[in-house]
Amino acid sequence: MTFSWILYLSALSTAAYASPLNSFEYDYIIVGGGTAGCVLANRLSANPSISVALVEAGPTVFNDSRVLIPSPAGPTWGTELDWNYTTIPQIYANNSILQYHAGRDVGGTSTINGMVYLRPTVDEVGSWSALGNPELSWDSLLPYFKKSEHLQLPTAPNASAKASYEASVHGFVGPVKVGWGNDLNPGEYGQALNTTWQSLGFSWNRDPNTGNNTGLALFPIEKDTVLQIRQDSARSYYLPVMGRPNLHAFTNTTALNVNLDGGKSHHGPQGLVVAKGVNVVLPSGKKQFLRSKQEVILSTGTYRTPGAIYNPSFTLESLTPSYNAKPMTGTLTAADLFGDELDTVAAQLYKDIPSYARTLSEASNGAISIQAQEQILLARANLFFKKNIAIGQYTFQIYGGNRWVTLPLSTENVHSSSDPAKPLLNPNFMQLPWDTLVMQRLFLVLRRILSAPSVQHALGPNATTELSPGYSLVPADASLPQWTSFFQSALAPTWHAVGSAVVYVGSR
Ligand SMILES: Cc1cc2nc3c(=O)[nH]c(=O)nc-3n(C[C@H](O)[C@H](O)[C@H](O)COP(=O)(O)OP(=O)(O)OC[C@H]3O[C@@H](n4cnc5c(N)ncnc54)[C@H](O)[C@@H]3O)c2cc1C
Ligand SMILES: *[C@@H]1O[C@H](CO)[C@@H](O)[C@H](O)[C@H]1NC(C)=O
Ligand SMILES: *[C@@H]1O[C@H](CO)[C@@H](O)[C@H](O)[C@H]1NC(C)=O
Ligand SMILES: *[C@@H]1O[C@H](CO)[C@@H](O)[C@H](O)[C@H]1NC(C)=O
Ligand SMILES: *[C@@H]1O[C@H](CO)[C@@H](O)[C@H](O)[C@H]1NC(C)=O
Ligand SMILES: *[C@@H]1O[C@H](CO)[C@@H](O)[C@H](O)[C@H]1NC(C)=O
Ligand SMILES: *[C@@H]1O[C@H](CO)[C@@H](O)[C@H](O)[C@H]1NC(C)=O
Ligand SMILES: *[C@@H]1O[C@H](CO)[C@@H](O)[C@H](O)[C@H]1NC(C)=O
Ligand SMILES: *[C@@H]1O[C@H](CO)[C@@H](O)[C@H](O)[C@H]1NC(C)=O
């Protein structure tokens, strides 16, 4: 008996090794080999008796210089490596249609993004747990932040530029190489920003990844500082394990749909719909059914994964045309932005919550109840006014700064269209007046910073005039409606969508 039991086990594990290439049958099928998909492929296939298929529409790009060369604004944007999504006309922003980039290759959006390595804060994560996810907390996530990270310390001559970090919250042996950029020394402009920022009563933050990101900081990026290349998710998680016999990546392979019990939706033991596998189109053009023995995992990104709802953040044109990023970020709290008006502003937002909740619920066609929206908005308002977390962010560029509302209240929705590659993205930018108010305050503070004499001196004669919006379009004493119409004409997305989705479905 014992003997045959052992034989049976070993036959099973042989089958698991052999199956990926032959039978199109896998324990786990991961749809979307992007940022998250590569991590899942690595972790699940670490157990050699589990077979894993990774299905990715695009190619591998390990040697593509457009991906490799560290860059804050991608040479990949608008190429075959970008899904080229666009929004539907933005009714709160003069019907503008905005570009939404998303990576289409192994590594996904991590191969085309800005590489900025910044974590959420203790209180933001805490608010997720308060909304019904008790297993999520800063303390429960920190071990994974550390496990994934390989922090590379700045070396001479750049170490003198004062990059600082709190060793206890970082990892030093994980797969994701993190380090500071080459232009680390922020020079006269950086020094002037630092002193001006602090003279306005705002703080310097020696490490923005400790769970408190408030203040001005030199931020790290996802980069291999020895090879001087982008450290995307494919490089971190897929490249080192691509030879595993129990992991099969289908690249250039588009998933068409998840097969729910042979095409008919079927309700399993807990009323869950059960996925049997995925229909894909192979590079040859041939259709193929991949059968799952355990689970189908959808990780096709927020815009392509069904059930998504989320808050978009938006940014505005730089004050000047030059994009020469400096590795400084500054974040501010509501207290920083509103000063003496904080209490009045807070009282008004709490008062507006019921009507905001109604607007959001109606915009979702009732998919999210007014009551649920009220809970979400209340959690947000408490973060702003009780926890005093940062709500707006700048990245400082030479001659200017980008700025965005990090926790907008306007809420996006996504619907499918007849063309799966063109989901109907509706970020609803400027849907709720709160976001516009925060953006106005971010601009007012930025004007104070950039007009400080030391900053003006550092910028030099070419940058002493604000190019956009300019004081003639939006004067120093401009009203909120004047700012609003400028925002409507100039806003751009920052592409940091987050969403939720029904992702699970096992076959047992
Ligand atoms: C321009 C830009 C700049 C950004 N900058 C930063 C930054 O500096 N720092 C930061 O932390 N975040 C940044 N972000 C956000 C961050 O990059 C994304 O939130 C994150 O990469 C999303 O990961 P994901 O796994 O959810 O999706 P993705 O990485 O997009 O993965 C989805 C994958 O699914 C594939 N796929 C989709 N449909 C199918 C299908 N039908 N069949 C097969 N495969 C499919 C896609 O090709 C893709 O590879 C930026 C985003 C953008 C767009
Ligand atoms: C995938 O497509 C790219 C072109 O985008 C091509 O260079 C590559 O050879 C293809 N790879 C596979 C495995 O089909
Ligand atoms: C990159 O290209 C070189 C040859 O140009 C090749 O030797 C190497 O294996 C490639 N690396 C990857 C990860 O594909
Ligand atoms: C994105 O647009 C560019 C320019 O039109 C095009 O070359 C590229 O193929 C598009 N990407 C995809 C995935 O279709
Ligand atoms: C240091 O910074 C300079 C530019 O200021 C850059 O050229 C150089 O490569 C950097 N060196 C290191 C070791 O990061
Ligand atoms: C900014 O100022 C703080 C002290 O006020 C200092 O510790 C920090 O090193 C400065 N940062 C830079 C980049 O100069
Ligand atoms: C974050 O740090 C800043 C600056 O040190 C401090 O003023 C603020 O109270 C901290 N916020 C939280 C939520 O701990
Ligand atoms: C300033 O502008 C002039 C004219 O456009 C240009 O020639 C010069 O290079 C600029 N200087 C700097 C430091 O950008
Ligand atoms: C709104 O868009 C129209 C059409 O593109 C344009 O003519 C108009 O100037 C825009 N209005 C503002 C305030 O930007």
Q: Which residue has its alpha carbon closest to ligand 5 atom 10?
A: 182
Residue 221 and residue 181 in contact, taking contact as beta carbons nearer than 8 Å: yes
Q: Give the number of the atom of ligand 9 that is nearest the alpha carbon of residue 489.
A: 14
Beta-bridged to residue 331, according to DSSP, are 215, 393
Calculate ∠ Cα 343-345-346, nearest 5°: 65
Do 221 and 322 have their domain in common?
yes
Q: What is the pLDDT of residues 265-316, one digit of tens each?
A: 445 555 566 789 999 999 999 999 999 999 999 999 877 665 744 444 444 4
Per the document, the length of the chain is 508
Do 208 and 357 have their domain in common?
yes
Do 337 and 444 have their domain in common?
yes
Do 425 and 371 have their domain in common?
yes
Residue 103 and residue 81 in contact, taking contact as beta carbons nearer than 8 Å: yes
Our mutation pick for probing the ligand 9 site, out of 91, 94, 430, counting the most ligand atoms within 8 A of Cβ, is 94
How far is residue 400's CA from residue 191's CA, in Å, rounded to a whole number? 14
Question: To which H or E segment does residue 123 belong?
Answer: helix 122-130
Our mutation pick for probing the ligand 5 site, out of 152, 153, 184, 228, counting the most ligand atoms within 8 A of Cβ, is 184
Do 14 and 52 have their domain in common?
yes
Domain boundary pick from 241, 267, 298: 298
Our mutation pick for probing the ligand 5 site, out of 152, 177, 182, counting the most ligand atoms within 8 A of Cβ, is 182
Do 378 and 406 have their domain in common?
yes
In angstroms, what CA-CA distances link 340 with 334, 343, 490? 11, 7, 29
Tokens read off for 69: 């060369």
Tell me what the mean pLDDT of segment 101-125 comes to.
95
316-330 b/e (C-beta count within 10 Å ≥ 16 → b): bbbbbeeeebbbbbb
Q: State the ligand closest to the CA atom of 489.
A: 9
Please give the pLDDT value at position 397.
61
pLDDT band at 398 (very low <50, low <70, confident <90, very high): low
Q: What is the pLDDT of residues 420-475, one digit of tens each?
A: 888 888 888 899 999 999 999 998 998 898 889 998 888 777 666 777 788 889 99
Direct distance between the N- and C-terminal alpha carbons of the chain, in angstroms, rounded to an integer: 27
Pocket of ligand 4 (CB under 6 A): 78-80, 82-84, 104
Do 369 and 461 have their domain in common?
yes
Tell me what the mean pLDDT of segment 45-59 comes to.
98
How far is residue 6's CA from residue 45's CA, in Å, rounded to a whole number? 22
Do 342 and 488 have their domain in common?
yes
Please give the pLDDT value at position 464.
64
Q: State the ligand closest to the CA atom of 158.
A: 5
Residue 414's domain is classified under what CATH number? 3.30.560.10
Question: To which H or E segment does residue 287 belong?
Answer: strand 287-298
Do 317 and 398 have their domain in common?
yes
Please give the pLDDT value at position 157.
63
The reply to whether 113 sits in an annotated binding site is yes
Tokens read off for 350: 């709490």
Percent of the chain at pLDDT > 90 equals 59
Structural domain total, the chain = 2
Q: Give the number of the atom of ligand 8 that is nearest the alpha carbon of residue 322.
A: 14
**Hey, what amino acid is at 288?**
Q
Range of the domain at 437: 188-230+310-493
**Hey, what amino acid is at 463?**
A
Would you give the DSSP letter of residue 469? Answer: S
Please give the pLDDT value at position 244.
98
Q: State the ligand closest to the CA atom of 64.
A: 3
Check whether 12 has a pLDDT greater than 70: no
Give the chain's radius of gyration (CA, Å).
24
Question: 3-state SS of 153-217?
Answer: CCCCCHHHHCCCCCHHHCCECCCEEEECCCCCCCHHHHHHHHHHHHHCCCCECCCCCCCCCCEEE
Residue 277's domain is classified under what CATH number? 3.50.50.60
Q: Does some domain include residue 86?
A: no
Selected residue with higher pLDDT from 498 and 342: 342
Q: What is the pLDDT of residues 327-354, one digit of tens each?
A: 788 999 999 999 999 999 999 999 999 9
Do 238 and 209 have their domain in common?
no
